[in-house]
A and B are shown apart, each in its own frame.
Chain A
Amino acid sequence: MNGIHNVEDVNKIPVLVHDLTVAYHHKPVLWDVDFEVEEGQIVGIIGPNGAGKSTLIKAILELVSKTSGRVLIYGEPYRKQRSLVGYVPQRESVDWDFPVNALDVVLMGLYGKIGWCRPVTKNYKDLAMVAMERVGMADYAKRQISQLSGGQQQRIFLARALVQDAKIYFMDEPFVGVDAATEKAIVTILHDLKSKGKTVLIVHHTLQTVKQYFDSLIMLNMRIVATGLTSEVFTQKNLHKTYGGRLTLLEEAVQAYTREGRIDE
């Protein structure tokens, strides 16, 4: 493999990214990205705007093409391991005026299992309702999705991923624009997933909550700045490297940092 692991080890790694480069129109947005994620961890992907956080997830899920590099999910390419992976895209990426209700959206998480050309039967609807219950949205199953608040829409997206019963979850900015109740609900579910040995990778941008939410971090600014346990890599030096001269963000970073009471380095 990449010289560090033997085959057996690689099969135990939920996500292994080696030498990944992604370019849009001949302009690289991700350079030589290397990292691996340990099973059962909640991993934050942080970095400034345009750092390639969403692109990283999309490249792993083969939604954008790789210029070079390799991604392995439990030792196999993604296209062989799709059933193990759940995806929560950014909420703004879809048209919420679409004529479906909340239950219909959650059911989309089961379309893969249902298979080509087959109708959605009642037992699948029951499964979807269980997932909606988990995110506290069971009462809203029949609501048209445009009538849901931002937080409720986010929870529906989460339920759609949960219903897949995956082993690895990728979430793109799930905490953006949600109310406190939804944030709490998401955190509860993250802990729940972790306790079941699932692995979660989350694109995140509020530095204040980083230490609270994530076991480990991928600090990204087109290149990997640092990866590792949050307690080890969430340092002022790494934040400087990640956010560079972006002053406002840097201030936020410093604030987050000092709030934790770790001024030493």
Chain B
Amino acid sequence: MNSILMDIYFQLPNRNELIRVLLLKDYNTRLVIVGVMLLGLAGGIIGTFMLLRKRSLMGDAVSHATLPGIGIAFMIMVAHGGDGKSLPGLLLGALISGIIGMGLILLISRASRLKEDAALGIVLSVFFGIGVSVLGVVQKMSQGSAAGLESFIYGKTASMLTQDAYLIAGTASIIVVLCLFLFKEFTILCFDQDYAGSQGWPIIKLDIGMMLLVVSVTVIGLQTVGLILIIAIMVIPAAAARFWTNSLFKMILIAAAIGAASGLFGAILSALFEKLPAGAIIVLVSAFIFAISLFLGSARGFCIRYFMSWRLEKKVSRQNLLRSMYEGLEKNDKKSLDKESKLRSVQSGISLEYFLSNRSWSMKKLTRLLKKAISEDLVYEGADKKYHFTKDGLSEAKRIVRNHRLWETYLISYADIAPAKVDRDADQIEHVLGQVMVDKLEELLLSNQAALPILPSPHSLDR
């Protein structure tokens, strides 16, 4: 029992191993790390466009479609007297069958009335099926050694030759350069295909070019990541990057960085723990980064969105408290005619009951709001158990009430042109509408009624 459990445990790396890997002492470790980082970088860049073109599933289907090519290339090479293990030959086979798969998807979805998802499902499963059968046949061939071909499916614990690293580096640089030069063209293709077409951009050629880059990433990633998981190194970094920015160019940079970082940590972890395959670990690392981005992303992560709505709610509640207190006083004010009683009414406070009957706040929330206002020194609780403005509180309340009333008047008087501007905060009225308009609105409000301490309210205060 004990020994079985021991068998399942991963061998923890000892201190020497740890140092050797982390200091990149092994030539092979260095090679793998550089290779996988470049792969992640290229995957992140082309993945961003693929994601925005909504072609993620097509990327997956195309990568599955590379399998028959590997088997067939092996057979051809063995038939010509080799041992069939030349990597460039196998990858060329993968490339060709990936391209055929892509062509078939486009053909099926354009020429028949099948929807694209059906075309994807058919090509993915049929090509993968052919691939598995071909590999089965190949295993039984007397010449050549087919052992290890199935590692292209899941990827294998990283080992890389210098020439493999060169191949990855070369292809990755081509992808980076092409995406840089075709940034504009890919952007317009992804955003608005019809408009791009009307402008004379060859959308079908651009589309095919983009998918060719996807196939290239698949092919250079076959060895380490494997064809089943390769889609992840394109989709996940791009999807994670979207949480951090609203700019396409930055999204590409961030996706590239996330891809490279996943490659780096994935390769290191898999070098430290013998049994962990590099491909799966790279995907898990990028998934971890995705989860972090989902929550903490600075542009549209959960936390920032929650924080924004929390802050807005707090601000609105504070404004509502001050407004409702001010308007309560104003109501008392209207009933008293002479100046002296007016003064008294401003000094008179507002009771808890007034707030509760005028706003939809619970007692708990109201107490919290009042506490907050007291701590900000805007309001104090008098001996009469009523709430009074401090001097600062009164002027802040005046400002808020005035701005809200100006907005309301603006919306009432200029209803037809207003909607374009109302998504701004009432507090910024001068900034949004300009001083001339604000003066005009003030005049409009004041002309309606006799002057009061500040502008009168455009809505009825008796609720």
Contact = CB atoms under 8 A, between A and B. Distances in A.
Interface of A: 25, 58, 61-63, 79, 82, 85, 87, 89, 93-95, 98-101, 104-105, 108, 111-112, 114, 116-120, 136, 144, 147, 149, 151-152, 160, 179-182, 184
Given A87-B198, A117-B182, A181 B420 contact: yes
B170 interface: no
A180 B248 contact: no
Contacts of B198: 61-63, 82, 85, 87, 89
A82 B199 contact: yes
Contact of B245 (A82, A99, A105): A99
B192 A108 contact: yes
21 contacts: A61-B198, A63-B197, A79-B200, A94-B191, A95-B191, A98-B191, A99-B242, A104-B187, A108-B187, A108-B195, A108-B196, A111-B184, A117-B185, A119-B184, A120-B184, A147-B423, A179-B419, A179-B420, A180-B417, A180-B419, A184-B417
A255 B418 CA distance: 29
Contacts of B248: 98-100, 104
Which of B190, B192, B242, B245 lies at the interface centre, i.e. has the most chain A CB atoms within 10 A of its CB? B192
Given A89-B192, A94-B191, A101 B246 contact: yes
B284 interface: no
Contact of B191 (A25, A108, A182): A108
Contacts of B419: 149, 151, 179-181
Which of B191, B419, B420 lies at the interface centre, i.e. has the most chain A CB atoms within 10 A of its CB? B420
Contacts of A152: 420
A200 B341 CA distance: 67
Overall SS of chain A's interface? mixed
Contacts of A118: 184
Contact of A111 (B188, B194, B197, B251): B188
Interface in B198-223: 198-201
A170 to B, nearest CB: 8
Given A100-B247, A101-B247, A117-B182, A180 B416 contact: yes
Contacts of A112: 199-201
B166 to A, nearest CB: 26
B420 A144 contact: no
Interface residues of B, number: 31
A82 B200 contact: yes
Given A99-B242, A181-B420, A184-B417, 7 more contacts: A101-B247, A112-B201, A114-B184, A117-B184, A179-B420, A180-B419, A182-B420
A194 to B, nearest CB: 22
Contacts of A111: 184-185, 188, 199, 201
Given A61-B198, A89-B194, A108-B195, A99 B417 contact: no
Contacts of B423: 147, 149
A144 B185 contact: no
B181 A117 contact: yes
Contact of B247 (A82, A93, A99, A108): A99
A117 B183 CA distance: 8
A105 B194 contact: no
Contacts of A94: 191-192
A62 B198 CA distance: 7
Nearest to A108: B188
B126 interface: no
A82 to B, nearest CB: 5
Contact of A93 (B192, B201, B251, B420): B192
B52 interface: yes
A25 B113 contact: yes
Contacts, number: 94
B416 A87 contact: no
Nearest to B247: A99
Nearest to A136: B420
Which of B196, B198, B423 lies at the interface centre, i.e. has the most chain A CB atoms within 10 A of its CB? B198
Contacts of B195: 87, 89, 108, 160
B266 to A, nearest CB: 26
Which of B181, B187, B418 lies at the interface centre, i.e. has the most chain A CB atoms within 10 A of its CB? B187
Contacts of A104: 187, 248
A154 to B, nearest CB: 11
A149 B247 CA distance: 19
Contacts of A160: 195
B185 A116 contact: yes
A119 B180 CA distance: 9
A188 to B, nearest CB: 12
A93 B194 contact: yes
Contacts of B181: 117
Contacts of A61: 197-198
Interface string B408-434: 000000001111100100000000000
Nearest to B54: A95
Contacts of A136: 420
Nearest to B183: A119
Contacts of A117: 181-182, 184-185
A98 B52 contact: yes
Contacts of B185: 111, 116-117
B282 to A, nearest CB: 25
Contacts of A114: 184
Interface string B234-250: 00000000100111100
- The 10 A-B residue pairs with the shortest CB-CB distance in the complex, in nearest-first order: A180-B416, A144-B246, A87-B198, A117-B181, A181-B417, A179-B419, A61-B198, A112-B199, A82-B200, A99-B248
Nearest to B246: A144
B139 to A, nearest CB: 45
A94 B248 CA distance: 16
Contacts of B191: 94-95, 98, 100, 105, 108
A116 B196 CA distance: 13
A149 to B, nearest CB: 7
A57 B10 CA distance: 65
